[in-house]
Amino acid sequence: MPQTAISVVTSNTGKPVPVINGVTIHSRYDPEKEGVKLATPLLEEVTSTTLVVFGFGFGYHIRPLLDSYENILVYEPCPELLQIVREQPECREVLKRVAIFDDFSKVSPPENPAQMALVPLKRIFSQQYAAFTDWLKHGRQNATSLVNPADLRIMICSPVYGGSYTTAEYVRNACEKLGCQVCYVDNAIGNDILQETLQLSDKNHAGIIVGKLTEILSDLFWERFTKEKPHLCIFVAQAPITIHLLKTIRERTSATTAFWFVEDFRRFTYWQEYAAYFDCFFGIQRDGFFRELEAIGLRNFSYLPMAADESQHRELRLAKEERDHFGADVAFMGAAYPNRLRLFAELTNYNLKLWGIGWEQNPLLQKHVQNNGQRVSIIETVKIYSSTKININLHSAMGDSILEEDGDFVNPRTFEIMACGGFQLVDKRKYLPELFVEGEEIVTFSGLEDLKEKIDYYLTHEDERMRIANNGRRKVLNNHTYTHRIEEMLRALQGKTGKLTAMLQHEREAFGNKLSQINDPELKKFLDMVPARERNSLPALLSYLKETGEMKRYETILRVLETFANDDS
């Protein structure tokens, strides 16, 4: 993992404790006592002779288990830490009696082992933990055989407008960074028609027009699809697609389809009609949502939280004039949902700035509204997050409550503020603790009075505020970007459906068969170097030759390339 900062501190009991990226891996008070507590469930019920552990740390959680398990296998996600571990006298006894590895491809998982994970390392190295669970479930082959993104042709279907429209753009950026060949279908071309339609007083007629617009955009997508021949189609929430299109892709092609539902399943229920037609369905919620998906017969679904786009959401150093304009002691950027209007009406005694639409609804807030209540661009949002001392992050809530009880999904604002190096106070969410460490990388509030107390505290404790903000930024950049999410999506697709791998394998075999028919050694050698994603058709090959400047060189033997023109390849 890049930019891994490791240090060692001394606990209250005099024992050394590692700190990674600002996160303490064991208790600073009594790591041995904490280790016994963590080990107790595995001591009370020993169901296997073998124990598999995610994360060694300094071994305090493993030492109590040494006499209860014949074999202890430890995966260490931070190789840099192992160098320090071997220098610690406290670790020598444990090191002699366990096997440590850091490469899944070299070790086969044991059958039915007991399992244990060191929670701080699980949080810091969430991507490695996902690979660890894949390794346990599928074996060393599947844990490391992630499809090479550079071999993939991916089509991304954007919404017409709205918050998930920018999510689709971030998905495109991530796919391109991974080296995929990306065809981005920008459905914003239908926005003018849609907005005009939504103004109609006859809602039934409006619904008919929206249906026709969806059919037109789906037909255009299919036309692009037949030309591009993608391996994978990623549809982002609110993408204008018909069930007919999804059935056509499934019945007439080998392409894999994935849907990323980046919305609250309780408020937006159209997923019930569409979910069954995708090869894999991704959501930002689990638990109740997964039960609902199982109830309608789905099996291929996966949790995929939001993220930040590091190319867009980045720390900016602004000149004083801009910093004064965009900065404030306390600020919020987003739409004025009812719960937000009520909350911020209680914070008007602070140097408060409100950005976004709808805030004029409350007269008490008018003097705090910025930019005349207009929409804020991405770059302006970044400047706000970067220059504000305390960014309030309040998730939208329906009903009369300010905070959503048992709120689960984590909004994109959470990740974006952090990526910009901003400090935030966010309402408690069910999934936050597994993403960020409270008090180290993020600070939550549980009500209005709690929020006010924490605003007052962190306004006067700049060093602590900056430390948490820096830790949070590091965590997002290392674990929670859209690039990470696309890698997680590809890994999930391989685990849940073999279509993607099968399509790539079929193309490789077909290309190899046709390559063997060519007698020109020079041309054969060149074509063998062509990226796999360019081998799907004669036009793709010709385009590649043109882009690489090889067209003129081979124009006298282009007829040979007719061998590759078969659409079945």
pLDDT of residue 144: 42
CATH class of the region 149-303: alpha beta
Environment class of residue 16 by beta-carbon count within 10 Å: exposed (0-12), middle (13-18) or buried (19+)?
A: middle
For the domain spanning 320-480, the CATH number is: 3.40.50.2000
For the domain spanning 6-144, the CATH number is: 3.40.50.150
Block residue for tokens 């999934």: 431
Q: What is the pTM of this model?
A: 0.72
Contact 413, 393 (CB under 8 A): yes
pLDDT of residue 539: 65
CA–CA gap between residue 109 and residue 136 (Å, rounded): 6
H-helix segments, 180-300: 191-198, 203-228, 243-252, 271-274, 288-295
pLDDT of residue 542: 66
Residue 357 CB contacts under 8 Å (≥ 6 apart), including other chains: 335, 336, 373, 374, 375
Contact 242, 249 (CB under 8 A): no
Model pLDDT for residues 41-72, shown as the tens digit of each residue: 898 877 788 899 999 999 999 999 998 888 89
CA–CA gap between residue 423 and residue 442 (Å, rounded): 8
Number of neighbours of residue 296 by Cβ within 10 angstroms: 11
Question: What phi and psi values does residue 303 have, to the nearest 5 degrees?
Answer: -85, 130
CA 43 from centroid of its chain's CA atoms: 36
Model pLDDT for residues 271-313, shown as the tens digit of each residue: 999 999 999 999 999 888 989 998 988 888 889 999 999 999 9
pLDDT of residue 232: 96
Per CATH, 149-303 and 320-480 having the same topology is answered yes
pLDDT of residue 406: 80
pLDDT of residue 506: 80
Q: Is 495 helix (H, G, I), strand (E, B) or coil?
A: helix
The DSSP 8-state label assigned to residue 88 in this structure reads -
Cα–Cα–Cα angle for 468, 86, 112, rounded to 5 degrees: 85
Q: Where are the domains of the chain?
A: 6-144, 149-303, 320-480, 499-564
Q: Is 563 helix (H, G, I), strand (E, B) or coil?
A: helix
Q: Could you say which residues of the chain have pLDDT below 50?
A: 1-2, 140-145, 565-569
pLDDT of residue 145: 45
